[in-house]
Amino acid sequence: MKHILLLGTGGTIACKHGDNGLTPLLTGEELLSYVPAARKFCQVESVQVLNIDSTNVHPKHWLMISKAIEENYDDYDGFVVAHGTDTMAYTAAALSYLIQHSKKPIVITGAQKPIDLDVTDARTNLLDSLRFASSDRAHGVNIVFDGKVIAGTRGKKERSKSYSAFSSINFPYLAVIQDETILFYIDDKWQDRESVRFYHKLNSNVALLKLIPSMDPSVFEYLAEHNDAVIIESFGVGGLPSYDNADFYSSIEKYVAQGKIVVMTTQVTQEGSNMSVYEVGQKAKNAFGLIESYDMTLEATVAKLMWILGQTSEADAVEELFYKTIGHDILWKAASR
């Protein structure tokens, strides 16, 4: 019987109603009391890392969760992180970079409704996660939610209320869980022969600029001045606007000349970017050598940049690491290199 560690961090799954709305109050041990069926296939212990609304999750909390897993890694067969849904995709992506080549499963789950309600998705999600964490074929960082198993770098919350809140973006589901059975679509555990590696540094000086028509480039200049990297969420397959009285090109030119990092991504959820298609994209990319996220999620782009900048600030090294496929995070550029 597998030995699993549940890490409590708060979120809706652990909430109770208070005077000002839902507040995380339940511990991991209390969460386990709602899924007694888990005792049939695993032994579970719990540790409380945090107990906060995931809106308040910060990169320092990702490091705390990773540290808790590292400290217990040799003593357990798998790990389940009970987490709020609002920033779950960011946490899953961050853990995918902080904990690489894990042969043991690290599962992030949560719920749209608290576990103590009569009608809730929490008990099913938690039980499914413990079941997946107990599978011999499971490995690496994954989200388990609504019967779907999603690579940690590919998850995105696309629905704010429905139980089917999360989707896998530009990548297949790794598995589905139905009727107490795990059906694997991608089974690649033994292809990765490297040993697990934990990282301990993140650089959170990363900003995101979402373009809207007529935006003044001075917004970019402010972000660039106060951060080591800026992600620009552009339109469609990607490009930089140039208006009669405003030019992003000169602003980016100054920023890149300082050795800082600009990454281009798209506001469109599915199918990714390709700046080579239109002049507005190709011109900027060729002129400044901008990094492009291609088929990556925004959450993975943010977390990967923070992880990379925690290792190096040298522009060429940043680009090389960004285009290295980690946990299924980027396929398009990696395949063309």
d(CA 324, CA 151) in angstroms, rounded, equals: 16
Task: Give the type of residue at 327.
Answer: G
Cβ atoms of 179 and 187 closer than 8 Å: no
Which residues are bridge partners to 232 per DSSP?
209, 264
| CB neighbour list of residue 168: distance below 8 Å, 6 or more residues apart | 148, 150, 151, 154, 155, 174
Residue 254 three-state SS: helix
CA angle 306, 307, 309 (to 5 degrees): 65
Q: How far is CA 80 from CA 108, 116, 182, in A?
A: 6, 19, 16
Cβ atoms of 288 and 262 closer than 8 Å: yes
Task: Single out the catalytic residue among 12, 87, 109, 301.
Answer: 12
CA angle 183, 188, 190 (to 5 degrees): 125
> Which stretches does DSSP call E strand in the chain?
2-10, 15-18, 21-24, 42-52, 78-82, 99-100, 105-109, 140-145, 148-151, 155-157, 166-168, 175-178, 181-184, 197-198, 206-210, 229-234, 242-243, 246-247, 261-266, 291-292
- The neighbour count for residue 62, using CB atoms within 10 Å, is 24
**Radius of gyration of the chain, Cα coordinates, nearest whole angstrom:** 21
d(CA 260, CA 262) in angstroms, rounded, equals: 7
Residue 179 tokens, joined: 């009727």
Cβ atoms of 147 and 176 closer than 8 Å: yes
Q: Is 269 a catalytic residue?
A: no
Active site residues: 12
